Amino acid sequence: MKVRFEGDVEELLPGIRSLAGEIGIVPGDEGTVVKVERSSQAFELEVGWDGAEGRIRYGAKHQFFRGLGLFVQHRGQGGAFSLREKQQFDTVGPMFDLSRNAVLSLDGFKSMLNKLALMGMNAVMLYMEDTYAIEEEPYFGYMRGRYSQEELREIDDYADRYGIEAFPSIQTLAHLEEFLKWEPVRHYRDTKGALLVGEEATDRLVENMIDGASWPFRSRKIHIGMDEAEELGRGKYLDRNGYKDRFDMMAGHLDKVLAAVRRRGLRPMMWSDMFLKLAAGNAGTERDYYDKNTKIPEEMASRIPKDATLVYWDYVHLEPEEYENVIANHRPLGGKLAFAGAVWIFNTFGVNYGLSLKASDVALQVCKKEGIREAYATMWGDDGNEGNPFAALLGLQLYAEHAYSEDSPKWERLAERVKFCTGIPAETFLRLKDLDEVPGSEPDNRKQSNPSKFLLYQDVLLGLFDKQIEGLELAAHYEKLEREIAASRNSEAELDYLFEVPQKLCAVLKLKSEIGIELKRAYDRGDREALRLAAAETLPAIASAVRELRLAHRTQWMRMFKPFGWEVIDIRYGGVLSRLDSAAARLLDYAEGRIPRIEELEQERLVFSSANRFNGRGVGWCSHYYRMASPNVFFHVLNPF
């Protein structure tokens, strides 16, 4: 569609040109007239077509691009229309985890920003533990795909053309394992992940972190982390100084960090969990963070800075009162409160949309009611990041539609919008949940089972998860899901490639998910012929499917991420293939009489953990590859230096 924009669009033209190809328009001096006008109402957007000309009246730059998408979407449906929206959050956008190996490439980031612009997002948070450059610290992000200052500036420039505020989220206390592992920087280390506070060298490091992370961005926002610092003061600090109150330690360090932030004219944000955990009395578990009975002591409240935005994170709750209680617990802390929910791509090849969509819907409605004006959708990449943020676009669309609706958005509207903004139908995105929402799962996978990952990596002879899935007919589930994904794909869609890995994974799991159970049964009944057949045919077929999956995954990774970190996934695939080869050799040796028994198959199968379907906790959850692959020692380090 040719479009002639009338009005003051000079500032908007770079963004219009970037999106033109995606939404099928050709901006120029002829074609459909669209009158563009800036509104005095900062949070209002009007879009319409009267049969002769169109209009987009917007309050803020980012709203124009949402309006442009709405115009093209509805114009394509034919007939006159008039839409009016009022933005419910001052700030809404995703947080990308760029610290767990999958660092978005510049092209990958720009592709994502195009989608966010059409949704109407106006913020993007870059979570970078050590993946940004610090000139004074060559080991900071070394071989980890860290962004250069120039790369971050390019991301910021591209986001700005859409009116999207990009800003850094860093860690200034804990979650720094990947930097502190290096021997040359051990002087900064208290424990494996926490900084040694109270030292001049540490203070200089933090100043350099703040400079390195903030300099490339226009935004004056900076998220300084400070979450999950349970290790604080329990390592080298304890050896040097003896026991100290952890709140005093944290508050003292925070004072220094905030002083450095203020000197640079930055506006700090920080996670709130440590304050509530400390108030609860033991600072050890998420349960303490969500405890509705937590009371903030007056002395603690008085020491918490009022100019820092506290970010309350909550990814799992499904009842409004659960959010209302924790928000009430935050009130005595004073200051501004923001909310961070999640689209669950954590520790899985899929997306836990059952939990994500319902929890986010409830949380965002409560945030509106409680007057919280900032909302973020986190997408963590725990344990190496087999998943990817593009698969989470349906969840991000929910955040966007909530941001422009007083009530919960209707499913029909959400589905129409995500199809327009991404080119992928909502139902196709939803199939990704079934990689983990398998028979035996709790409704909507609310216990976060992740069989798509542990069934791929578990050893076929050891069968660590076999007891948990016994009798669930997962092979049939994955065979059916493979067909459904294949049938839903559209090769002409830009993002169709996202579904190649899930489809190939199903091709593996329809063969591998129950093979350990079958081998154990054949061994127990003394069926050497069945074991010989498995070694000669079934295991090689699984290996062939794994090789196809690996190649599809490598192609996907290199299309959206920097290459650093892929080697971890590559090694994991190599481990699966090597163990299949060894298993086949063991089975043949036994079947052909060269060994008298297979000790691995003689072992009784036990449930992997207390998270299992026999006690209403789903089919299981495991956070670490090395625990999925083997019960034996991968590494054991008491003192790495």
Which backbone phi and psi does 197 adopt, to 5 degrees? -75, 160
CB 93 within 8 A of CB 164: yes
Percent above pLDDT 90 for the chain: 90
Q: What does the alpha-carbon distance between residue 67 and residue 69 come to, in Å, rounded to a whole number?
A: 5
Structural domains in the chain (count): 3
Express each pLDDT in 490-529 by its tens digit: 999 999 999 999 999 999 999 999 999 999 999 999 999 9
Closest CA to 168 of 205, 134, 218, 207: 218
Shared-domain flag, residues 142 and 257: yes
Lowest-pLDDT choice from 135-144, 300-309, 477-486:
300-309
Express each pLDDT in 167-202 by its tens digit: 999 999 999 999 999 999 999 999 999 999 999 999
Shared-domain flag, residues 415 and 540: no
Shared-domain flag, residues 591 and 540: yes
Strands 44-49 and 54-58: antiparallel
Residue 447 predicted with pLDDT over 60: yes
Local structure of 223: helix, strand or coil: strand
The whole-angstrom distance between residue 4's C-alpha and the CA centroid of its chain comes to 39
Residue 118 predicted with pLDDT over 80: yes
Where residue 305 falls among pLDDT bands split at 50, 70, 90? confident
Segment 105-110 shows an average pLDDT of 98
Closest CA to 372 of 43, 90, 22: 90
Q: Which residues pair with 47 in a beta bridge?
A: 56, 83
DSSP-assigned states of every residue in 16-42: HHHHHHHHT-EESSSSEEEEEEE-SST
Residues 135, 141, 143, 146, CA torsion sign: negative
- Per-residue model confidence (pLDDT) at position 146: 98
439 lies in a domain? no
CATH of the domain at 415: 3.20.20.80
Closest CA to 87 of 55, 120, 57, 113: 120
Segment 611-638 shows an average pLDDT of 90
Shared-domain flag, residues 55 and 103: no
CATH of the domain at 614: 1.20.120.670
549 lies in a domain? yes
Show the domain range for 541: 449-629
Local structure of 506: helix, strand or coil: helix
Structure tokens at 432: 């990704």
Where residue 304 falls among pLDDT bands split at 50, 70, 90? confident
Shared-domain flag, residues 71 and 96: no
Lowest-pLDDT choice from 136-140, 303-307, 379-383:
303-307
Domain boundary among 432, 467, 492: 432
CATH of the domain at 25: 3.30.160.230
443 lies in a domain? no
Residues 600, 602, 603, 607, CA torsion sign: positive
Domain boundary among 86, 120, 155: 86
Domain boundary among 19, 52, 86: 86
CB 230 within 8 A of CB 194: no
Express each pLDDT in 4-27 by its tens digit: 999 999 999 999 999 999 999 999
637 lies in a domain? no
CB 141 within 8 A of CB 130: yes
196 lies in a domain? yes
Where residue 334 falls among pLDDT bands split at 50, 70, 90? confident
- Per-residue model confidence (pLDDT) at position 292: 79
Shared-domain flag, residues 424 and 512: no
The whole-angstrom distance between residue 76's C-alpha and the CA centroid of its chain comes to 33
Q: What does the alpha-carbon distance between residue 605 and residue 582 come to, in Å, rounded to a whole number?
A: 20
57 lies in a domain? yes
To which H or E segment does residue 599 belong?
Answer: helix 599-602
Q: What does the alpha-carbon distance between residue 236 and residue 191 come to, in Å, rounded to a whole number?
A: 7
DSSP-assigned letter for residue 140 = T
- Per-residue model confidence (pLDDT) at position 246: 85
Shared-domain flag, residues 99 and 79: no
What amino acid occupies position 222?
A: I
- Per-residue model confidence (pLDDT) at position 641: 44
38 lies in a domain? yes
CB 360 within 8 A of CB 343: yes
Which backbone phi and psi does 56 adopt, to 5 degrees? -135, 115
Residue 153 predicted with pLDDT over 90: yes
Residue 106 predicted with pLDDT over 50: yes
Summary mean pLDDT of the chain: 95
Closest CA to 181 of 207, 144, 208: 144
Q: What does the alpha-carbon distance between residue 214 and residue 417 come to, in Å, rounded to a whole number?
A: 34
Which backbone phi and psi does 611 adopt, to 5 degrees? -90, 90
Structure tokens at 422: 């991404």
To which H or E segment does residue 126 belong?
Answer: strand 123-127
Three-state helix/strand/coil letters over 447-493: CCCCHHHHHHHCCCCCCCCHHHHCCCCHHHHHHHHHHHHHHHCCCCC
pTM here?
0.96
Lowest-pLDDT choice from 243-257, 370-384, 544-558:
243-257
- Per-residue model confidence (pLDDT) at position 345: 98
Express each pLDDT in 546-594 by its tens digit: 999 999 999 999 999 999 999 999 999 999 999 999 999 999 999 999 9
Lowest-pLDDT choice from 32-41, 224-233, 622-631:
224-233
Residue 212 predicted with pLDDT over 60: yes
Shared-domain flag, residues 485 and 611: yes
Where residue 285 falls among pLDDT bands split at 50, 70, 90? low
Shared-domain flag, residues 60 and 148: no
Shared-domain flag, residues 538 and 604: yes
- Burial of 398: CB neighbours in 10 Å, binned 0-12, 13-18, 19+: buried
Shared-domain flag, residues 465 and 600: yes
CB neighbours (10 Å) of residue 188?
A: 20
Q: How far is CA 262 from CA 135, 251, 258, in A?
A: 22, 16, 6
Shared-domain flag, residues 491 and 554: yes
438 lies in a domain? no
Q: What does the alpha-carbon distance between residue 455 and residue 16 come to, in Å, rounded to a whole number?
A: 45
